[in-house]
Structure 1
Amino acid sequence: MRASELPESEYHPYYKPYIDALGEDDLFLSLSNGLLVMENFINQLPEGKLDFSYGPDKWTIAEVLIHLIDTERIFQYRALRFYRNDKMELCGFDQDEYVIECEAAGKSKNQILQEYSTVRKATIALFQSFNKDALNRMGKASGTPMSVRALGLMISGHQKHHFKIIEERYLV
């Protein structure tokens, strides 16, 4: 399934820029490529740059990376619940509150890299375990219907979105 083929009825409009950022990318290819891109980025990032923020009240690079990890875990959980045909609506989460509690300043580049890689590999394994037909299953989170496959694409698009922000605002 290519991101460009995903019907807008399978996700909240808030996530449209994330899905659009993937263009013709395939769900599984985007997850795998995202792993390589982010591992390479983190490996090349100078250790001192983790604490850099481009402005007051803006997250540090380390906080952005932990935010990506947290969000991916939450979307994994949603995908698993929807795939298992769980009909209970799932609540949202406040990303800003999560970042306050993420303790990014105390984490090294290697710790963040290991955590990110482990989570992404788990995401890939999870989505590879799903049969093709059940990827279309729908659930409801944050008051909005979304499909299992949309969650996988949202994970990839969310990372791509934040990676672009890091390149444009943090690495100048």
Structure 2
Amino acid sequence: MKVTDLEKGEFLPYFQTYIDRIGELILVDGLEDGLKNVISFFKSIPEDKLEYSYEANKWTVKEIISHLIDSERVFAYRAMRFARKDKTAVAGFDENDYAKESYANTRTLEDLLEEYTLVRQSTIALYNTFGADASRSVGVAGSGEVSVRALGFLIAGHEKHHCEIIKERYL
């Protein structure tokens, strides 16, 4: 399944910028590539930049890693519910509140990357269980509808977005 397989209405327009970052990768391949690339990228960041924030009230690199972990967990949970035909609307979440309570800056890079790896491996395993029908399932999350497959592309594109921001503003 590729981004071009998505149909209008499978995700909110707000998520377009993340999904556009995927290109022509097949969803699970993109998640697997992202795992390798993100680990390598974060390991390449100088230690003195890990707790750096380019502006007041902006996240540090460690907080961004924690944000990626939290967001992926939320998106994968939504995908599982919708794939299982759960029609209960899922509340949104405030990523700034989550980041504030993450205590990411007290953790080592190795610890954060180990957790990231485990979460990504779990997401890949979950997406490998979805058939075509399940991947097209749609549910309500936050303020709109989103499909299981769009959530997968959102996970992959979201991390690319944040890696680009780090390259532009932190390094």
Q: State the TM-score, normalized to the length of structure 1.
A: 0.96
Counterpart of 1:101 in structure 2 is 101
Distance in 2 between residues matched to 1:140 and 1:8, nearest whole Å: 15
Counterpart of 1:28 in structure 2 is 28
Deviations 1:133-163 (A, max 9, x none): 2110111111311110000000001001111
Distance in 2 between residues matched to 1:96 and 1:8, nearest whole Å: 29
Counterpart of 1:137 in structure 2 is 137
Pairwise mapping of residues 12-91 of structure 1 onto structure 2 (< 5 A)?
A: 12-91=12-91
Counterpart of 2:148 in structure 1 is 148
**Residue type matched to 2:145 in 1?**
P
**Residue type matched to 2:72 in 1?**
E
Distance in 2 between residues matched to 1:22 and 1:5, nearest whole Å: 13
SS state at 1:8 partner = coil
Distance in 1 between residues matched to 2:48 and 2:108, nearest whole Å: 10
Long gaps (5+) in structure 1: none
Distance in 2 between residues matched to 1:156 and 1:30, nearest whole Å: 6
- In the comparison of the two structures, how many residue pairs are matched? 171
Distance in 1 between residues matched to 2:34 and 2:52, nearest whole Å: 23
SS state at 1:10 partner = coil
Q: State the TM-score, normalized to the length of structure 2.
A: 0.96
Shift of 1:97: 0.6
Shift of 1:7: 1.7
Shift of 1:42: 2.2
**What is the RMSD of the two structures over their aligned residues, measured on CA atoms?**
1.0
Counterpart of 1:114 in structure 2 is 114
* Conserved? CA contact 1:89–1:143, under 8 Å: no
**Residue type matched to 2:112 in 1?**
I
SS state at 1:96 partner = helix
Shift of 1:22: 0.9
Shift of 1:49: 1.9
**Residue type matched to 2:159 in 1?**
Q
Shift of 1:78: 0.1
* Conserved? CA contact 1:90–1:142, under 8 Å: yes
Distance in 1 between residues matched to 2:134 and 2:4, nearest whole Å: 19
SS state at 2:32 partner = helix
* Conserved? CA contact 1:69–1:119, under 8 Å: yes
The structure in which a higher percent of residues are helix is: 1
* Conserved? CA contact 1:4–1:19, under 8 Å: no
